[in-house]
Amino acid sequence: MGRIISRVLPPLRDRIRPGVRVLFVGINPGVRSSLTGHHFAGFSNRFWKLLYESKLVPEPITFEDDDRLPEWGYGITNIVARPTPGIDTLEPGEYVAGRARLRAKVRRFKPAVVAMVGLTVFRAMFPERKDAVALGRQAEMLGESEVFVLPNPSGRNANYTYAEMLAAFRSLQRYVGRVPRSGPASNASSRKAIR
């Protein structure tokens, strides 16, 4: 049933331009995001509020403003392009293809930081990682781009309080402030690159 529904849903367009400093990555679009044509559009999703309250963006914005993310050096995409009501109907082959597409986008746009929005997103991108994953910067890299893990801001995510989510987004804001504008952190070559 989920496959049938997602076949009729329109795809969601990436918001990425050259010069992106942070590329936010979700797992795949939800139904409401697909229908509205905007990322993180779920009624209970706190992504946009967290961006503002962490000072990653200078003014309050909503999902309808996702086209403005490049103004601040941000981009947004998903590992799997197919919209679904939940991730339970995504198939292994979609993750394999999605990982390849994301690597290609990172090679093309060269963001300093790839911010995985949720532990599930990180695990989907790095299935070989078996140990516990903490929020924040990771040892893994995508090309020359640092990888940072944020909590899933969905209202269905009961793993973190809002205060914990905000602390993680503020940590990203501080980290991005230290990354040179010309590209990834200078110690990138000494870290494990995943190509």
- The whole-number pLDDT of residue 181 equals 62
Q: What is the pLDDT of residues 126-164, one digit of tens each?
A: 999 989 999 999 999 999 999 999 999 987 767 899 999
SS3 content of the chain, % helix, strand, coil (to 5): 40, 15, 45
**Is 71 domain-assigned?**
yes
Number of neighbours of residue 111 by Cβ within 10 angstroms: 28
Domain assignment of residue 193, yes or no: no
Residue 17 lies in a domain: yes
Please give the structure tokens belonging to residue 66: 């996702």
Q: What is the pTM of this model?
A: 0.88
Burial class (CB in 10 A: 0-12, 13-18, 19+), 1: exposed
Residue 191, in any domain of the structure: no
Residue 75 is assigned to a structural domain of this protein: yes
Based on the structure, what is the number of domains in the chain? 1
Residue 187 has pLDDT above 80, yes or no: no
User: Containing domain of residue 92, as a range?
Assistant: 2-181
> Residue 188: pLDDT above 60?
no
| DSSP class per residue in 45-71 | --HHHHHHHTTSSSS---GGGGGGGGG
CATH code at position 138? 3.40.470.10
Per-residue pLDDT at 148: 98
Cα 188 to Cα 174: distance, rounded to the nearest angstrom: 18
Q: For the segment 48-96, what is each residue's pLDDT rounded down to a tens digit?
A: 999 999 999 999 999 999 999 999 999 999 999 888 888 888 989 999 9
For residue 174, being part of any structural domain is answered with: yes
CB 135 within 8 A of CB 168: yes
Asked whether residue 194 is assigned to any structural domain, the reply reads: no
Q: Is residue 33 part of a domain?
A: yes
Is the pLDDT at 119 greater than 70? The verdict is: yes
